[in-house]
């Protein structure tokens, strides 16, 4: 397409009036030129308007895609937070329980060690007393045996004395 000259545009604007150079319009030819220039101008304006609409539609489409992507990212972030958050709470709760059990274990461990020491001491004392008892029982058996032997001897002596007297 040829671009209209400045004179043609001025004539289109004045349409039907005196042209730029001040001479009266040359009837049909100039009027046809003016209409043609006006039609070209309108066609260009319509083309520009159509392209603006296309660009606007593309921008809207891109904005829609961006909004959709933003929404998907927000959903993914929410899912990620929901996924890690309960784990954090559970882990924290379990750690607190472990700390509480450790606090309870410390005195129990000390008590256990104390009681184990007391048990060992009690077993040792028991074994010593048992040993002492064994020694005393052995001594008692020795004394009982000796006493019986002495009494038997005495009885024999008495029996002998009685036999002698008879």
Nearest to 74 by CA among 63, 62, 82, 86: 82
Tens of pLDDT along 59-78? 999 998 999 999 999 988 88
Q: What confidence tens digit (pLDDT) does each residue in 120-163 have?
A: 999 999 999 999 999 999 999 999 999 999 999 999 998 888 88
pLDDT of residue 1: 47
CA gap 40, 14 in Å, rounded: 16
CA dist 94 and 12 (Å) reads: 86
Determine the pLDDT at residue 84: 65
DSSP letters spanning 9-61: HHHHHHTTS--TTSSPP-HHHHHHHHHHHHHHHHHHHHHHHHHHHHHHHHHHH
pTM: 0.39
């Amino acid at each position: 397409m040829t671009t209209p000259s400045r004179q043609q545009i001025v004539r289109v604007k004045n349409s039907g009036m005196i042209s730029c150079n001040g001479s009266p319009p040359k009837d049909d030819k100039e009027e046809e030129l003016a209409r043609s220039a006006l039609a070209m101008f309108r066609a260009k304006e319509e083309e520009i308007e159509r392209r603006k609409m296309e660009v606007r539609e593309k921008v809207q489409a891109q904005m829609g895609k961006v909004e959709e992507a933003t929404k998907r990212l927000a959903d993914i972030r929410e899912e990620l937070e929901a996924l890690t958050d309960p784990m954090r709470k559970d882990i924290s709760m379990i750690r607190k329980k472990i700390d509480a059990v450790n606090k309870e274990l410390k005195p129990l461990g000390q008590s256990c060690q104390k009681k184990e020491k007391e048990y060992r001491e009690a077993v040792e004392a028991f074994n010593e007393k048992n040993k002492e008892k064994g020694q005393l029982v052995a001594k008692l058996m020795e004394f009982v045996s000796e006493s019986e032997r002495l009494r038997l001897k005495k009885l024999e002596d008495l029996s002998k004395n009685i036999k002698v007297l008879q």
